[in-house]
Amino acid sequence: MHPQSNPPALTLENSADYRENYANSVQLRASLWDFFLLFGTLRQQTPEAVTIQNFQGIYLSPQQAKALLNVLSTNVQQYEATFGEIRLEPQGDSSLIQ
């Protein structure tokens, strides 16, 4: 038997170029070696025109992508248990949907 060891101490540090942003657009590309997430802000000023301003791209290994999937799935389930189902169809002004 292996003796149980204590996990290492974890320190979180922000790099000098760390930033936080709001994204309502995420695009995904996958290859054999990695996943690429492209985050942006979507604006629809008219029913005919949508603009997405991308601001950050992140590459993830397949292992990190799967870990992210698990973390997001768990957190979405907890959110819905607390606040109710998250619906993906737009709510409100249906004139923007065509």
Higher pLDDT pick, 88 / 58:
58
* HEC assignment per residue over 4-72: CCCCCCCCCCCCCCCCCCCCCEEEEEECCCCEEEEEEEEEEEECCEEEEEEEEEEEECHHHHHHHHHHH
Distance CA 98, CA 95 (A): 7
pTM of the entire predicted model: 0.74
State pLDDT tens for residues 35-75. 999 999 999 989 999 999 999 999 999 999 999 999 999 99
Largest CA distance in the chain: 66
